[in-house]
Amino acid sequence: MGTGGSRYGAGRPGYHHKTFHFHSIDVRRLQRENNLRAGLCLTCAWKDDSGKVLSSIGMTVDQKGVTFNYRINDQPVNQYVILVKTACNYGGSRTWFLCPYCQRRCTHVYFGQQVACRKCHRLRYPSQSDDDTGATWRKQRKLEARLGGENYWRKPKGMHEATFQRIRQEIIGLESERDRLLCISYTALMARLNRIQRHW
């Protein structure tokens, strides 16, 4: 997850930020960890290897959605995102965020000057030329495809339970590894910005 808002690549023709440049929250992960209960208040924090908090986002859940609050460039952001549900083929339901700007359903919201989906932030997924962070995304998408798509908390029909649990744990491990890599990238980026500011 990575904080956005500033156009670090401004002036570079054809440059687009990637998803890993912004902090994000995955509604599937919130659902899996039972963090969509009405009345719940919690804080999502991103830390470096020493345990120092680099940034954090507050969440307050109600019956219909989630209020996110955080600061970016010393400016407060407080935004409400509606939750919607769709029926699954084999019973049950799936929860989505509803992007506040385009009203599309999405699994992730990204945090910049506003809370919005990937398309509204004009973010691209990592390409084959990207670094280790991009590799974790590619591996995760392949594993999710084996489970029928992004809804990986439900075992596909005909799959052995042991296989399902192994793939599920691999996906969770990739999420954790990506968080670690993003914290390293964020720390390096902030150090670079500090060096630039000292030259002004």
The residue ranges of every structural domain in the chain are 19-198
Answer with the residue of higher pLDDT: 178 or 49.
178
Beta strands in 112-164 (DSSP E): 115-116
Strand, helix or coil for residue 192: helix
Tens of pLDDT, residues 66-99: 999 999 888 899 999 999 999 877 677 889 999 9
Give the integer Cα–Cα distance in Å for 55 and 82.
Answer: 23
| Run of H or E residues at 88 | none
What band does 12 get if pLDDT is binned at 50, 70 and 90?
very low
CA distances from 99 to 106, 121, 140, 194 (A): 7, 11, 23, 33
Distances from the Cα of 147 to the Cα of 94, 125, 152, 170, 178, angstroms: 14, 20, 6, 12, 20
Cβ proximity of 114 and 100 under 8 Å: yes
Asked if 23 and 57 count as a contact pair (C-beta separation under 8 A), the reply is yes
pTM reported for the whole predicted model: 0.58
- Predicted local confidence at residue 81, as pLDDT: 98
